[in-house]
């Protein structure tokens, strides 16, 4: 019996996101929700969670069903609250005392180190913030889970831990997961919904197999469409011929026949639907300003510390040269983001930097922060571009359109954009900064698969220089040409990331 039944559901937010969606969610379902950026995955989850009203259709939930919903981003107001207390606040008042044991169970089941339990959510790493949101929902003892891009910000070790955690949940508990992480979907789901504006498709298969089945259906629909259109054309030619003969011979019979053939052609043309064409969510392009300097950055045995001043590691003497695309590898908490911050400060605000880091004077930095804090939530994309760059209104509009922001999206506040749309805006800002060195912290978070591949090819094709942190195995393999591993309080150069990847899966 279905626990949640979705009938004829549709949402229009500016444009129709999805329509006539039917879905029965039953015990044991682990459903992946897949679509490009901005197509309505988060919107659908909000409808199911009951925090957003659909434009059309119904959702019925079985009586008393508790739905746990983990949002794509940290909700405002949570940053100041310590991890442990945030879980307590999630419990309903009447359970706060009697059910407090749930908090420790949730913290233990996610292996949260004791030192982190009293830290405010805002001071946790991006990965722990995501797990904190998950734990907050878990303490409420839900009967069904909705997870919106749960692997964003998680490092590889945590992704694997999350996979194990999901596998350990009661088998009957349905879980819906919106994600762009193919490997994660394959490991955690048994059904896949491809969300589409007109005809969404559901398969009782995990992602990769479902994708194959979908591609076959799309291809066979395209063949049928082409065949029907060809038949209709033939009928029309036949009708034209008969019409001529009919006129010349004055035969009523032929005129009637002509009409019938034309009607058949019309019926075929009306019924024929072209196969689904994936619309791109916009182009991702990067600029690359040249420089004559060969060495861009020198690390002179820099000391990297925690914000509290504890030693994390020392870099030794290191050089970042033009054309280097360095991936920083290391366990969570090893100090990757700390080093990125030190380098950023040394370049952007050298007067404030105490670290032994030297950047060449011609260095133009392109920096993207993991939380996209560089974007103002209440500003529109158009205002964001016009305020920062000396481009006129027209040029700003056409740049935005190229990046996937139609007229309507250009005028919405950044705060209501989908996660991927924000990332795409951040990429356009990066491009217009025209840097010669990129410092990127988890740049593929929120980007759909097409966007991830576009970023990969821009970074490699343009011979950019960059230092990046990423948990995405295929992205790291495609982009990196040097690898720095932080281990045992030292920074080591390694040939490739494979040993690190396999050690993460063993932990």
Ligand X SMILES: Nc1ncnc2c1ncn2[C@@H]1O[C@H](COP(=O)(O)OP(=O)(O)OP(=O)(O)O)[C@@H](O)[C@H]1O
By CB under 6 A, name the binding residues for ligand X.
13-14, 17, 35, 37-43, 72, 412, 416-421, 446, 448
C-alpha–C-alpha distance, residues 41 and 474, integer Å: 23
Taken as a whole, the chain contains a residue count of: 507
Considering the complex, what minimum distance in angstroms separates the CB of residue 410 from ligand X?
A: 11
Radius of gyration in angstroms for the set of CA atoms belonging to the chain, rounded to a whole number:
27
Q: Of Mg ion, ligand X, none, which one sits near residue 37, judging by CB under 5 to 8 A according to partner kind?
A: ligand X
Dig out the tokens for 180 from the structure. 């762009």
Partners of 311 in beta bridges: 305
Judge contact between 12 and 25, C-beta under 8 A: no
Dig out the tokens for 140 from the structure. 């409420």
Instruction: Say whether residue 423 binds Mg ion (CB under 5 A).
Output: no
Considering the complex, what minimum distance in angstroms separates the CB of residue 180 from Mg ion?
A: 9
Considering the complex, what minimum distance in angstroms separates the CB of residue 381 from ligand X?
A: 10
Q: Report the residue number, 172 or 278, with the smaller CB distance to Mg ion.
A: 278
C-alpha–C-alpha distance, residues 127 and 159, integer Å: 9
List strands edge to edge, sheet with 191-194. Answer: 67-70, 144-148, 175-178, 30-34, 191-194, 201-203
Q: Of Mg ion, ligand X, none, which one sits near residue 40, judging by CB under 5 to 8 A according to partner kind?
A: ligand X
Q: Report the residue number, 113 or 402, with the smaller CB distance to ligand X.
A: 402
Q: Is 338 exposed, middle or buried (0-12, 13-18, 19+ CB in 10 A)?
A: middle
> Which range binds Mg ion by CB under 5 A, 216-224, 237-245, 416-424, 452-460?
416-424
Short-list 68, 38, 63, 50, CA closest to 9: 50
Q: Report the residue number, 4 or 195, with the smaller CB distance to Mg ion.
A: 195
Q: Report the residue number, 323 or 406, with the smaller CB distance to ligand X.
A: 406
Sign (positive/negative) of CA torsion 114, 115, 116, 118?
positive
Considering the complex, what minimum distance in angstroms separates the CB of residue 59 from ligand X?
A: 16
Considering the complex, what minimum distance in angstroms separates the CB of residue 35 from ligand X?
A: 5
Q: Phi and psi dihedrals of 205, rounded to 5?
A: -145, 150
Q: Report the residue number, 181 or 448, with the smaller CB distance to ligand X.
A: 448
Q: Which residue's C-beta sits nearest to Mg ion?
A: 42
Considering the complex, what minimum distance in angstroms separates the CB of residue 176 from ligand X?
A: 12
**Residue 408 to residues 13, 281, 381, Cα–Cα distance (Å):** 11, 14, 10
Q: Of Mg ion, ligand X, none, which one sits near residue 43, judging by CB under 5 to 8 A according to partner kind?
A: ligand X
Q: Which residue's C-beta sits nearest to ligand X?
A: 420
> Which range binds Mg ion by CB under 5 A, 12-20, 65-73, 224-232, 459-467?
65-73
Considering the complex, what minimum distance in angstroms separates the CB of residue 386 from ligand X?
A: 20
C-alpha–C-alpha distance, residues 402 and 416, integer Å: 20
Considering the complex, what minimum distance in angstroms separates the CB of residue 45 from Mg ion?
A: 8
Q: Report the residue number, 403 or 417, with the smaller CB distance to Mg ion.
A: 417
Q: Of ligand X, Mg ion, none, which one sits near residue 451, judging by CB under 5 to 8 A according to partner kind?
A: none
Among 3, 4, 6, 42, binds Mg ion (CB under 5 A): 42
Considering the complex, what minimum distance in angstroms separates the CB of residue 412 from ligand X?
A: 6
Partners of 490 in beta bridges: 314, 487
Q: Report the residue number, 43 or 384, with the smaller CB distance to ligand X.
A: 43
C-alpha–C-alpha distance, residues 291 and 186, integer Å: 43
Q: Which residue has the tokens 């379902």?
A: 29
Judge contact between 103 and 88, C-beta under 8 A: yes
Q: Report the residue number, 45 or 91, with the smaller CB distance to Mg ion.
A: 45
Judge contact between 32 and 91, C-beta under 8 A: no
Q: Of Mg ion, ligand X, none, which one sits near residue 412, judging by CB under 5 to 8 A according to partner kind?
A: ligand X
Dig out the tokens for 341 from the structure. 């911050």
Q: Of ligand X, Mg ion, none, which one sits near residue 358, judging by CB under 5 to 8 A according to partner kind?
A: none
Interface mask toward Mg ion for 72-111; x: CB under 5 A: x---------------------------------------
Please tell me the number of Cα atoms within 13 Å of 225 on its side-chain side.
13
Q: Of ligand X, Mg ion, none, which one sits near residue 35, judging by CB under 5 to 8 A according to partner kind?
A: ligand X
Judge contact between 120 and 325, C-beta under 8 A: no
Q: Where are the alpha helices (DSSP H) in 72-206?
A: 83-90, 101-109, 126-138, 156-167, 182-188
Q: Report the residue number, 206 or 419, with the smaller CB distance to Mg ion.
A: 419
Considering the complex, what minimum distance in angstroms separates the CB of residue 192 from Mg ion?
A: 16
Considering the complex, what minimum distance in angstroms separates the CB of residue 398 from Mg ion?
A: 26
Q: Report the residue number, 16 or 120, with the smaller CB distance to ligand X.
A: 16
> Which range binds Mg ion by CB under 5 A, 42-50, 110-118, 325-333, 338-346?
42-50
Q: Report the residue number, 201 or 412, with the smaller CB distance to ligand X.
A: 412
Q: Is 115 exposed, middle or buried (0-12, 13-18, 19+ CB in 10 A)?
A: exposed
Q: Of Mg ion, ligand X, none, which one sits near residue 39, judging by CB under 5 to 8 A according to partner kind?
A: ligand X
Q: Which residues bind Mg ion (CB under 5 A)?
A: 41-42, 72, 418-419
């Amino acid at each position: 019996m279905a626990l949640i039944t979705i009938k004829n559901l549709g949402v229009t937010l500016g444009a129709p996101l999805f329509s006539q969606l039917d879905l029965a969610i039953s015990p044991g379902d682990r459903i992946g929700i897949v679509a490009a950026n901005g197509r309505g995955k988060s919107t659908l989850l909000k409808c199911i969670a009951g925090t957003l009203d659909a434009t059309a259709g119904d959702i019925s939930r079985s009586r008393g069903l508790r739905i746990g919903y983990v949002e794509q981003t940290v909700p405002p107001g949570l940053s100041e609250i310590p991890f442990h207390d945030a879980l307590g606040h999630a419990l309903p008042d009447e359970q706060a005392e009697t059910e407090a044991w749930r908090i420790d169970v949730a913290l233990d089941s996610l292996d949260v180190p004791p030192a982190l339990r009293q830290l405010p959510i805002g001071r946790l790493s991006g990965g722990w913030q995501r797990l904190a949101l998950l734990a907050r929902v878990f303490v409420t003892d839900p009967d069904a889970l909705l997870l919106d891009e749960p692997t964003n910000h998680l490092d590889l070790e945590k992704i694997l831990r999350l996979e194990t955690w999901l596998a350990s949940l009661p088998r009957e508990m349905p879980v819906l997961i919106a994600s762009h992480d193919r490997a994660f979907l394959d490991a955690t789901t048994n059904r896949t919904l491809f969300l589409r504006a007109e005809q969404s498709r559901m398969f009782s298969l995990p992602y990769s197999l479902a994708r194959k089945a979908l591609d076959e259906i799309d291809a066979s629909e395209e063949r049928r469409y082409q065949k029907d259109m060809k038949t209709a054309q033939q009928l029309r030619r036949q009708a034209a011929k008969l019409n001529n003969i009919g006129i010349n011979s004055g035969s009523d019979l032929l005129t009637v026949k002509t009409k019938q053939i034309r009607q058949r052609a019309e019926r075929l043309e009306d019924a024929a639907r072209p196969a689904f064409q994936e619309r791109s969510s916009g182009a991702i392009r990067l600029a690359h300003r040249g420089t004559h300097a060969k060495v861009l950055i020198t690390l002179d045995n820099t000391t990297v510390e925690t914000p509290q001043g504890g030693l994390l590691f020392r870099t030794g003497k290191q050089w970042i040269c033009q054309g280097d695309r360095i991936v920083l590898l290391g366990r969570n908490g090893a100090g990757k983001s700390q080093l990125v911050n030190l380098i950023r400060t040394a370049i952007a605000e050298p007067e404030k930097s105490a670290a032994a880091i030297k950047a060449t004077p011609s260095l133009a930095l392109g920096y993207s922060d993991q939380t996209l804090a560089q974007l103002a939530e209440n500003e529109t994309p158009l205002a964001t571009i016009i305020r920062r760059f000396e481009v006129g209104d027209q040029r700003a509009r056409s740049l935005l359109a190229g990046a996937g922001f139609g007229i309507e999206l250009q005028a919405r506040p950044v705060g209501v954009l989908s996660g991927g749309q924000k990332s795409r805006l951040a990429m356009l800002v990066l491009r217009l900064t025209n840097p010669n060195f990129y410092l990127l912290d988890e740049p593929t978070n929120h980007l759909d698969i097409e966007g991830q591949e576009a970023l990969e090819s821009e970074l490699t094709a343009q011979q950019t220089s960059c230092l990046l942190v990423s948990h995405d195995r295929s992205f790291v393999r495609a982009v990196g040409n040097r690898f720095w591993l932080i281990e045992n309080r030292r920074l080591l150069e390694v040939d490739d990331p494979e040993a690190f990847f396999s050690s993460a899966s063993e932990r």
